């Protein structure tokens, strides 16, 4: 039987990894798919750029639209990133009746509803395992392995750059700026790291995870997003004194009031497995009613790990070539006509516990004012730590852990606390979550 011909859009790290994995494991892949899978055409912005992998046997095309329209290409693998050009190419591929594999989380999070609707009409598959958590097969696990469960929450470390930074800050007592510069030099962070450190990348991925976990449409614009740029070495140290680690998490949780979609730094108990995931690794915790808590851990980025997911999607598509479109695994786990528009809760309506750090004037009565304002706002205190003043310093740090309260009441309390004449500057607030 003739091998399936794939057209590759993008010859970067993941594109090169995909070529290498397909060639290295060609026999094994053919045994699993029932047919060989080969890259026959490829397109990239700069075709003359030196590359560390061989392009022998691959026809190079300068125009990506030519690849998408090429009659020999049966599956298009979109690995160029971005949203607008990628959307145009993917929609054209679908219009041409071609299946699509993509590693593009922004494309799926922002345009996925439109893309999947078009794919369903044309009877083609759009596979996107590599869009979330690199080589960890989390999409397949939720969509297929946990299909018998009602899933209550998905939470995880889904951006390796931020996890690398927080790990190095904790282990080496270095500043955010210093570790970010190292992450950039190692290739873990882009020259413009905004998508990573401000939580946008994680929000794209959380949008996808929530859709397949809860059967809701993709709604990136409703994800609350906060980055790690304000986290200090002091915050990490104080958290550890209380038995917590700071991780940058994406959290999707279904409650009786609605669905929580939030990305932010989070204090989690240090005994949790996910609290001990260090470096650039990813980990996702999924809780189902039948199976209970399950955790998925591994490489969240890199050439071979991400290529592993891309190739797995190619194998799935080839296996489905003879399957009636109506009997295939739905793109977002639930049948397209069964997706539900559950209410997405605004952050102000979500309840969490909090870590608060403030600089207070070292004089009697200040702590009493702080606790009074918290009490008047209906906020119960779990623990307080007041550091001894440094010689010559007028202000001392006060650390407070609170019990769970709605964010809107915490916002009101922080506004009142920052207005006190004996509180200096802004109050640092980090949300807490037991992940239970």
Return the structure tokens found at 244. Answer: 């917590």
Phi, psi of 203 (to 5 degrees): -65, -40
Phi, psi of 411 (to 5 degrees): -60, -45
Residue 280 near residue 161 (C-beta atoms within 8 A): yes
**Is residue 341 classed as helix, strand or coil in its secondary structure?**
coil
Integer Cα distance of 99 and 278 in angstroms = 36
Integer Cα distance of 37 and 253 in angstroms = 39
The dihedral sign for the CA sequence 184, 301, 7, 26: positive
Is 205 designated active site? yes
Distances (CA, A) of 55 to 59, 65, 174, 242, 248: 8, 20, 42, 54, 38
Catalytic residue among 98, 205, 222, 408: 205
Find all residues with CB under 8 Å of 48, minimum gap 6, and list them.
none
Integer Cα distance of 95 and 99 in angstroms = 10
DSSP 8-state assignment for residue 344 = B
Which residue's structure tokens are 């102000």? 348
Q: Dmax over Cα atoms in the chain, in whole Å? A: 84
Integer Cα distance of 173 and 241 in angstroms = 15
Return the structure tokens found at 254. Answer: 């279904």
DSSP 8-state assignment for residue 143 = I
User: Which of 166, 211, 188, 182 lies closest to 333, judged by CA?
Assistant: 211
Residues with catalytic annotation?
Answer: 205
């Amino acid at each position: 039987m003739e091998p399936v011909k794939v057209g590759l859009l993008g010859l970067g790290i993941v594109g090169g990894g995909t070529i290498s994995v397909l060639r290295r494991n060609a026999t094994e892949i053919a045994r699993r798919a029932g047919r060989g899978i080969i890259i026959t055409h490829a397109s990239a912005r700069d075709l003359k750029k030196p590359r560390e992998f061989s392009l022998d046997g691959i026809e190079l095309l300068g125009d990506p639209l030519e690849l998408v329209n090429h009659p020999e290409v049966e599956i298009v693998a979109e690995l160029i990133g971005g949203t607008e050009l990628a959307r145009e190419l993917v929609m054209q591929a679908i219009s041409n009746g071609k299946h699509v594999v993509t590693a593009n989380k922004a494309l799926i999070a922002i345009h996925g509803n439109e893309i999947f609707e078009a794919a369903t009409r044309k009877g083609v598959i759009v596979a996107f395992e590599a869009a979330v958590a690199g080589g960890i097969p989390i999409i397949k696990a939720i969509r297929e392995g946990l299909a018998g469960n009602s899933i209550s929450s998905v939470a995880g470390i889904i951006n390796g750059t931020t996890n690398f930074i927080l790990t190095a800050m904790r282990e080496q007592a270095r500043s955010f700026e210093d570790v970010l510069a190292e992450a950039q030099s190692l290739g873990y962070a882009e020259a413009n790291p905004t998508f990573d450190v401000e939580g946008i990348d994680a929000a794209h991925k959380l949008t996808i995870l929530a859709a397949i976990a809860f059967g809701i449409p993709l709604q990136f614009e409703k994800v609350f997003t906060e980055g790690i740029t304000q986290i200090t070495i002091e915050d990490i140290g104080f958290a550890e004194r209380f038995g917590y680690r700071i991780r940058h998490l994406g959290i999707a949780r279904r409650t009786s009031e609605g669905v929580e979609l939030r990305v932010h730094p989070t204090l989690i108990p240090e005994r949790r497995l996910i609290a001990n995931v260090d470096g650039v690794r990813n980990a996702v915790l999924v809780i189902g009613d039948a199976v209970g808590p399950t955790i998925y851990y591994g490489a969240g980025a890199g050439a071979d790990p991400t290529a592993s997911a891309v190739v797995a999607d190619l194998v799935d598509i080839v296996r489905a070539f003879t399957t009636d479109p109506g009997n295939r695994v739905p793109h977002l786990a639930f049948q397209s006509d069964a997706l539900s528009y559950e209410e997405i809760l605004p952050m102000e309506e979500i309840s969490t516990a909090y870590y608060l750090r403030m600089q207070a004037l070292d004089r009697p009565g200040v702590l009493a004012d702080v606790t009074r304002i918290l009490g008047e706002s209906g906020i119960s205190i779990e623990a307080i730590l007041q550091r001894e003043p440094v010689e010559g310093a007028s202000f001392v740090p006060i650390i407070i852990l609170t019990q769970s309260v709605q964010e809107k009441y915490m916002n009101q309390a922080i506004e009142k606390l920052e207005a006190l004449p004996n509180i200096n500057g802004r109050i640092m607030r980090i949300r807490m979550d037991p992940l239970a």
